[in-house]
Structure 1
Amino acid sequence: MLATRLTALLGIRHPIVQGGMSWASSNAELALAVSEAGGLGVIAAGPMYPDDLRAAIARVRAGTRQPFAVNVPLYNKRAAEFLDIVLETGVPVIIASQGGPKAHIGRFKEAGVTWIQVTANPLHARKAEDAGVDAVIAVGGEAGGHPGPDEVGTLVLVRATVNAVTVPVIGAGGIADGAGIAAMLALGASGAQLGTRFLLTPESGLHAAYKDLVLNAGIGDTAIVGRGRSPIRMVKNAFSAEYEAAANRGADDAELDALFARSSLRQAAKDGDVAQGKVEAGQSAGLIDKLEPAGELVERLAREAEAALSGAASCIR
């Protein structure tokens, strides 16, 4: 076992957090498997209806005694209701993203809920710490979905965030194996969050065509789409090529906004339209060559991380 400040804070066996990914982990199955195996499983509330979120929480609670989390994007139109559900159902950990914690965190601290904040730069991490969060996730530019607008790589961002705050830091972006987890610990982080790696599991709630496209992607097969707006990292497809062509020929903001809005994550994740939908995934897709059950994956990642750290220590004379 790798005992860190994060494992102590959350009461988990391994310093491994499954990313809260809309549609992929907007269910009970993935979070349940990860938590039961000793990591922190995360239900992604974003695209869920409130009753479906309640049902997923109940199913995870019925299937494991281990801690789990709900990810709430604070910009979401249903965020207030999601936050109420987290409190009402006694979820032990909330992971908040895309919005600041200050307006909400008080009642969660009173209820004993652990609050983890997703951040994209050290300044935001420091502000989150000042607001009272228990830990921060530092998401580097390699990550799928919504990386920070500055696109700073994980290696630099995690180290800068560790230097900026005193709460535990969880490194994220470009991590697909135990060596990546070991790298985060070597940088001073207390754990690692993996998104794309857990996306490629049988338990993730994505269309098979989505998984196939990500599984066959190389490390250079993703692109940032929507710079200057709400940028996302996704696997290159017909939509991303069309958007890039429009941006390169100097299309105006109205045309780019309309083009960006024409495609959605749901289109790919639920309907299987991986040509025109937004197939969000990180550069670590190129490090993954198979689907793997989430519970077995957690156990393998933990073994690999221990081996990587032992191997690094053996270099010291």
Structure 2
Amino acid sequence: MRTRITTMLGIDHPIVQAGMSWASSSAALPAAVSNAGGLGVLAAGPLRPDDFEHVLGQLATATGRPYAVNIPLYRPGAADILDAMHARRVPVVIASQGSPKAHLARFRGIGAIWIQVVATLEHACKAADAGVDALVVVGAEAGGHPPASEVTTLVTVRRVLQEVSVPVIAGGGVADGWGIAALLALGADAVQLGTRFLLTEEATVHANYKAAVLAADVQDTALVGRRDLPIRGLRNAFARAVFDAERDQLPQEDYVALFKKSTLKQAALDGDVEWGKVELGQSAGLVSRIEPAAAVMARLVSELAQVTDRLRAMAG
């Protein structure tokens, strides 16, 4: 299947593995996805500069296919990570949580493609106007940082596509080929999957984290931290404490301190799935097993072909 994104990135399938801190902060998962014809994404968010350069070298060795690096622009030390990405001539940058304006010219100079992650129409238009090559647009079903408005993926993506002309990679609520087909039919040029790739053998998170995500059904997540930078996470002890703080109208300073006391690292690296931030999308309820990323990719491609054939038959 050829789209503007597959052509731009040089990948075989319109499938992008989301950059997920800790889960894809080693070479294993992004290399496996890229080698299977999708776009694997190394998550630089939790990595120190020296560790990042080491892992990036491993990834470049592990795959000869296109890959990307996800960088939250607000993170401490982002400038050092960006310098390393530039020096290593990373082919695709996927940036979030910050403006791309200050960086585009420099990365264009090495031929890199810049993709910006957004969750609202306002941010999508700003990024497109700044000159990014493409957008990742996520809706409320997504893990990580979905729109605080909780507008769904179907509506968010379609609204953005009404206003921008750059290619869109859509994400949120997708775990199989049927979901991929739905977002391609909506007008997207590729689809990003996070939770589905979190539940792979190559994802480098604690076994407790994977078990908690695997056990979750579609109703077991919630938008947590509405008064700070909300996440979609598991309804665990941490989430209940935040909900109680909102109900009791805890002063903002205390609320932020409570929200920041728990971390993703606490869950993903240390295995504390009660008080850590267990970030996951609603699509966890659509996944029933942990398996190799290559097997996931093969099934996604097969399912997408099945849906395409079905639609073609329906059209006569």
Aligned to 1:127: 126
- Offset at residue 201 of structure 1 (A): 0.6
- Mapped to 2, the partners of 1:193 and 1:308 lie a distance apart of 18
Secondary structure at the aligned position of 2:170 is classed as: strand
- Mapped to 2, the partners of 1:114 and 1:192 lie a distance apart of 17
TM-score, length basis structure 1 = 0.98
TM-score, length basis structure 2 = 0.98
Aligned to 1:59: 58
Instruction: Give the share of equivalent positions with the same residue, in percent.
Output: 54
Does the Cα contact within 8 Å between 2:27 and 2:62 map onto a contact in 1? no
Query: Does residue 1:95 correspond to 2:94, yes or no?
Result: yes
Q: What are the within-5 Å matches in structure 2 for residues 27-38 of structure 1?
A: 27-38=26-37
Which runs of 5 or more structure 2 residues have no equivalent in the other structure? Answer: none
- The range that moved more, 253-262 or 92-101, is 253-262
Aligned to 2:41: 42
Q: What are the within-5 Å matches in structure 2 for residues 169-208 of structure 1?
A: 169-208=168-207
- Offset at residue 258 of structure 1 (A): 2.0
Q: What are the within-5 Å matches in structure 2 for residues 1-317 of structure 1?
A: 2-317=1-316
- Mapped to 1, the partners of 2:109 and 2:257 lie a distance apart of 43
- Offset at residue 128 of structure 1 (A): 1.1
- Mapped to 1, the partners of 2:183 and 2:238 lie a distance apart of 33
- Offset at residue 314 of structure 1 (A): 1.8
Does the Cα contact within 8 Å between 1:21 and 1:195 map onto a contact in 2? yes
Secondary structure at the aligned position of 1:300 is classed as: helix
| Offset from partner CA, 1:169-193 (integer Å, 9 cap, x none) | 0000111001111011000100000
Does the Cα contact within 8 Å between 1:137 and 1:171 map onto a contact in 2? yes
- Offset at residue 309 of structure 1 (A): 2.1
Which runs of 5 or more structure 1 residues have no equivalent in the other structure? Answer: none
- Mapped to 2, the partners of 1:11 and 1:309 lie a distance apart of 22
- AA in 2 matched with 1:313: R
- Offset at residue 264 of structure 1 (A): 0.6
Moved over 3 A (4+): none
- Mapped to 2, the partners of 1:90 and 1:155 lie a distance apart of 35
Secondary structure at the aligned position of 1:103 is classed as: coil
- Mapped to 2, the partners of 1:237 and 1:158 lie a distance apart of 29
Does the Cα contact within 8 Å between 1:149 and 1:228 map onto a contact in 2? no
Secondary structure at the aligned position of 1:314 is classed as: helix
- Offset at residue 313 of structure 1 (A): 2.5
- AA in 1 matched with 2:96: S
- Mapped to 1, the partners of 2:45 and 2:56 lie a distance apart of 14
Secondary structure at the aligned position of 1:116 is classed as: strand
